[in-house]
Chain A
Amino acid sequence: MSTAAGVIQSGAPWALAGRLPLRRHMPLILGIAGFAIVIALWEISALAFGLSVRLYPTPLSVLHTFVDLIRKGILPVHVTDSLARYVSGVAIGTVVAVVLGVLFGLNRFVARMMLPLVNFLYAIVEVSWIPLFVLWFGYGPKVILLALIYVVAFPVLFNCLTGVLSVPQVYVNAVRSLGATRAQVIRQVILPAILPNFMTGFRVGAGFAFRALVFGEVIAAQTGLGFLIFEGAQMQDTSRTVVGMISMGVLWLFFDRVYLRPLERATLERWGMIAGEGQG
């Protein structure tokens, strides 16, 4: 973590706190202070701009709307809808990708043949499929589900195929010369070798999918947090929009910290194959 900074910056003001019992709680206190400063700046900027609360919400109006939306049971409905869409889309997308990955990946020749097509379809981002999906199915939940499946399936499939192709032939030959059957080669060599690739693809896909969810719900849904955000802006009730945005952030943090990172740690980091990369 910040040991590098700690070594160099031994004269910094917080070094003083070392003698105080406060020190142990310093990260927490500073973290809360950070949020307090942001909220204070937000409030001050609202006063300074002098815009209507409908166009530029204040922290208080957002809190008010938040409580209101929970009391009326509106927010929980949107959260559950978004959650259900996300989980089902990611799950189906992963299963599709794994099935196709195994089908294509069993044979190096097939994997090599399919890889460029998979790469091309991966490059046509799910966002640009949404207009066509809308033409096919109209504005509705099908569009979102398809976009989510698409956005998860291609990074996973692409990474699995590159994984298959990057297994050195020597390993396969070595295991085969020891008398392994084809099935054993796949189970003992190929699958363990591509697990890190699978995880990289899954991580990327899960991140993209969350954005696709927001986008899909803005365009083609009548429920969900994306819809709440969009509806709030349309009704010029921006407090609703901000409540939706904050709920979205909390939801993603929850996913990221409770599911994705532990999963990554359990697989990649244990083998020393950390590929932690930007997750804007």
Chain B
Amino acid sequence: MAAPASAPAPAARMRASGNWIALLPFAVLVAVWLVVPLTMDVPFYVLPPIGTVIETLWDKLASGELWSDVLSSLGLLFAGFVIGNALAFPLGIAIARSRFVSQLVQPVVIFMQSIAGIAWVPLAIIWFGLGVGSVLFVIVNTIFFANLYNVIAGVRSISPTLFRAVRSHGGRGWQIYWHLVIPGALLQVIVGLRTSMAYGWRALVAGEMIAGSSGIGFRTMEAVQWYKSDVVVLGMLIIGVLWLLMDRILFVPLEARTVRRWGMIHR
């Protein structure tokens, strides 16, 4: 059976040989986008010419609007990530370590988890008003539940032998948590980080579109009202590029440095 674990080899080969041919589909797409507005009578609100989108990009770069939108979105994501994890770690460890807590809390948590973060947006708007508060609430909610699952799975994956080993060497109280539980669970958390951030990213963009007053998602949805398709398309492209950058700059190296090096590849 071909295990997915054998993925790195061809992937590495692909990078080494410089996969230039992969630019072809992109080129075709751009060519179609160039030609269609010229040859066919497509209204502007349906498909903006590629030139207009590039102009809009320059305008927004020059005015600094783009930077402030991107920074505001990323800042919210980061804040939501920190708060969500600060809540998820203690509860996750408690659930994984104590059968009493697990039996008491886990059914409720499973139920709450299945209510998608985005479904909280309307209620959040009533409580916190339109703006940063509501969006942050939704991101924290999403990241919390996504990573709670990872923390529980991570702590439970630590072998009981290790607990006995730490205890027999005189490890007590906080030492067990500091030297065994947290590093042990971190592995699973790192593996799940990409997935949970993918959920958090969607929650951010969706939250900004419905309840935001700033950020890239807000700007993109706002443009729909004025039929500014150039701003909409630009927003989409930026959302895509930002996610790819986060993935390449943060998660891929992080996984390579930690999980893969420790020989614990799951995919």
* A, B: real partners: yes
Task: Please tell me the number of chain B residues within 8 Å of chain A, measured between CB atoms.
Answer: 96
- In the complex, A14 has a CB within 8 A of chain B: yes
- How far is B235's CA from A130's CA once the two chains are assembled, in angstroms? 11
- How far is B127's CA from A233's CA once the two chains are assembled, in angstroms? 10
Count chain A CB atoms within 10 A of each CB in B21, B99, B159 and give the residue with the most.
B99
- How far is B202's CA from A5's CA once the two chains are assembled, in angstroms? 35
- In the complex, B40 has a CB within 8 A of chain A: no
| Contact indicator A210/B244 (Cβ below 8 Å) | no
| Contact indicator A124/B4 (Cβ below 8 Å) | no
A29 (CB) vs chain B CBs: closest residue: B103
| Contact indicator A208/B202 (Cβ below 8 Å) | yes
Distance between A205 CB and nearest chain B CB, rounded to angstroms: 11
B203 (CB) vs chain A CBs: closest residue: A211
- How far is B24's CA from A83's CA once the two chains are assembled, in angstroms? 39
Q: Which of B52-60, B61-69, B205-213 contacts A (4 or more CB under 8 A)?
A: B205-213
With beta carbons under 8 angstroms apart, the residue of A4, A34, A114, A171 that contacts B108 is A34
- How far is B157's CA from A1's CA once the two chains are assembled, in angstroms? 9
* Contact partners of A177 in chain B: CB under 8 A: none
Distance between A66 CB and nearest chain B CB, rounded to angstroms: 15
Count chain B CB atoms within 10 A of each CB in A136, A208, A249, A275 and give the residue with the most.
A249
* Contact partners of A165 in chain B: CB under 8 A: 7, 10-11, 14
Distance between B143 CB and nearest chain A CB, rounded to angstroms: 7
- In the complex, A21 has a CB within 8 A of chain B: no
Interface residues on A, range: 35 or more
Give the dominant DSSP class at B's interface: helix
With beta carbons under 8 angstroms apart, the residue of B153, B202, B209 that contacts A211 is B202
Distance between B153 CB and nearest chain A CB, rounded to angstroms: 8
Count chain B CB atoms within 10 A of each CB in A34, A162, A238, A246 and give the residue with the most.
A34
- How far is B187's CA from A222's CA once the two chains are assembled, in angstroms? 44
* Contact partners of A163 in chain B: CB under 8 A: 4
- In the complex, B262 has a CB within 8 A of chain A: no
Distance between A151 CB and nearest chain B CB, rounded to angstroms: 9
- In the complex, B125 has a CB within 8 A of chain A: yes
- How far is B149's CA from A33's CA once the two chains are assembled, in angstroms? 21
* Contact partners of A248 in chain B: CB under 8 A: 114-116, 119
Q: Which of A70-78, A90-98, A192-200 contacts B (4 or more CB under 8 A)?
A: A192-200
- How far is B99's CA from A256's CA once the two chains are assembled, in angstroms? 24
- In the complex, A50 has a CB within 8 A of chain B: no
Chain A 88-122 interface residues, beta-carbon cutoff 8 Å to B: 109, 112-117, 119-121
With beta carbons under 8 angstroms apart, the residue of B125, B143, B195 that contacts A277 is B195
A274 (CB) vs chain B CBs: closest residue: B266
- In the complex, B257 has a CB within 8 A of chain A: no
| Contact indicator B4/A197 (Cβ below 8 Å) | yes
* Supplied contacts A116-B19, A127-B202, A214-B118, 6 more A-B pairs, CB within 8 Å: A1-B156, A4-B163, A8-B97, A125-B240, A128-B239, A218-B122
7 CB-based A-B contacts, threshold 8 Å: A2-B96, A9-B97, A56-B127, A112-B19, A112-B22, A131-B221, A278-B195
Which 10 A-B pairs rank lowest in CB-CB distance, beginning with the nearest? A280-B146, A233-B122, A124-B240, A249-B115, A30-B103, A31-B107, A278-B192, A193-B2, A166-B7, A117-B25
